[in-house]
Amino acid sequence: MQTSVAKQERPLRLRVSNLSITYKTHRGILHAVRNASFEAWEKESLVFIGESGCGKTTLCTSLVGMQPVNATPIGGTVKYFGEDREYSILEMSDKQLAKIRWKDIAMMFQASQNAFNPVILMKEHFIDTAQSHLVGQSRKAILDKSRKLLELVRLDADRVLNSYPHELSGGMKQRALLALSFLLDPKVIIFDEPTTALDVLTQRYIIDILRDLRDKFSFCMLFITHDLSVAAELADTVVTMYAGQIVEKAPVGEIFSNPKHPYTAGLIQAVPTLSSTHEDLKSIPGSTPDLVDMAAGCQFAPRCKFATALCLKEEPQLVEVGPNHVTACHHHEYIPPIVKKG
């Protein structure tokens, strides 16, 4: 309940309502995101989990109008609430979008260590970024700010600014990009798998830095990952996606102990942990459904042990099952809480 009270006091940053996105493929229309709705508030960190192909990246890239060219939003709205006015992202032109990208909403893509231009110095990246949005800032002012940010992500600022991207390690590039994304004080930052492909100690380091930064600045963070342990570390709210749909959304403590969607429960039970002494991990049987030729009813039904005739016929809608906890399952009351291992 506490979180819900606290939430009201903070400004709303994003509201996505009934967003549906399709891809044109040679086999037909692929329904990548269907009827997704969520809100994100200042200082909140929202973590999207789900298997590959569940639509989490498509959903989040559409929030900055950066979805792939063959993706078409077919319905719904995305509203971003800036300091002084609100924006309807889906109705904005590329030119208008370019103004708010990075300045208001920044996005770090998957494998974004490769995002740097290999032939210019790191400091030119910072200067370029700042000057394309804020006219008339001196190089010195920008570099001073960059230095501060680079120190926040615990890098040797002068060395990094005067290096070419290839002179930095993967973890350093990742942190430099993190600093770059804060350069224009964005209100919303979207991270797409920023810690995959990093070593354990580097990953831990980046998680710690992200948490620090979140306390220092008041941004709203959307975080995409398939790694549940990273979600457990960083999330306030966890959103589970399956077959293009948001199937569950709940506060982090709640979802890990008391998931109300069989898919979330299945994911949690499939993650190996260190703390348990002995374990019997269960994988979710079956595979993800075809999003071109979609079956009727609940998309998860063929893999679900709670499924009944109703599930095959009628698609469940999100219903409230607790404070800030919604799930799309006909039989959510039958799903047992997670038994703490060890």
Partner 1 sequence: MSSELCRVNNLTRVFNKGARDVVVLNGLNFSINEGETFCVVGESGCGKSTTGRILAGLLQPTAGDVWFRGVNLAERSKKQVKAFRKEVQMIHQDPYASLNPTRRIFDILSYPLLRHRRGMDYGELLESVSDLLTKVGLTPVEDFLDKYPHQLSGGQRQRVSIARALTVDPKFIVVDEATSMIDTSLKISLLDTLTKLQTELGVTYFFITHDLALAKHFAWNGRIAVMYLGEIVELASAQHLIQAPQHPYTKALLSALPEADPQVTRTKKRFELTGHEIPSLDNLPTGCKFHPRCPWNVKGLCGVNAPSLQSFNGSCSVACHVVHGESHKN
DSSP characters over 298-321: -TTGGG-TT--HHHHHSPPPPEEE
- Please report how close the Cβ of residue 299 comes to partner 1 at its closest, in angstroms: 15
What DSSP element (H or E) covers 133?
Answer: helix 122-133
Nearer to partner 1, 128 or 227 (CB): 227
Nearer to partner 1, 53 or 82 (CB): 53
Q: Which amino acid is at 114?
A: N
- Please report how close the Cβ of residue 85 comes to partner 1 at its closest, in angstroms: 36
- Please report how close the Cβ of residue 278 comes to partner 1 at its closest, in angstroms: 8
Q: Which residues, in sequence order, are CB contacts of 190 under 8 Å at separation 6+?
A: 60, 61, 63, 64, 105, 106, 107, 108, 221, 222, 223, 224
- Please report how close the Cβ of residue 233 comes to partner 1 at its closest, in angstroms: 5
Nearer to partner 1, 106 or 252 (CB): 252
Q: How many CB atoms lie within 10 A of CB 74?
A: 13
Tell how strand 45-49 and strand 220-224 pair up: parallel
Neighbouring C-alpha atoms within 13 Å toward the C-beta of 154: 10
Nearer to partner 1, 227 or 315 (CB): 227
Across the chain, the runs of DSSP E, i.e. the strands, are 12-25, 28-41, 45-49, 71-81, 86-88, 105-108, 188-192, 220-224, 237-242, 245-251, 319-322, 325-327
Nearer to partner 1, 9 or 280 (CB): 280
Interface residues with partner 1 (CB under 8 A) are: 51-53, 154, 169, 172, 199-205, 207, 226-233, 235, 252-253, 256, 266-268, 270-275, 277-279, 281-284, 287, 340
- The Cα–Cα gap between 208 and 216 comes to 13
Q: Tell the burial category of 175 from Cβ atoms under 10 Å away from its Cβ (0-12, 13-18, 19+).
A: buried
- Please report how close the Cβ of residue 186 comes to partner 1 at its closest, in angstroms: 25
Nearer to partner 1, 26 or 95 (CB): 26
- Please report how close the Cβ of residue 234 comes to partner 1 at its closest, in angstroms: 9
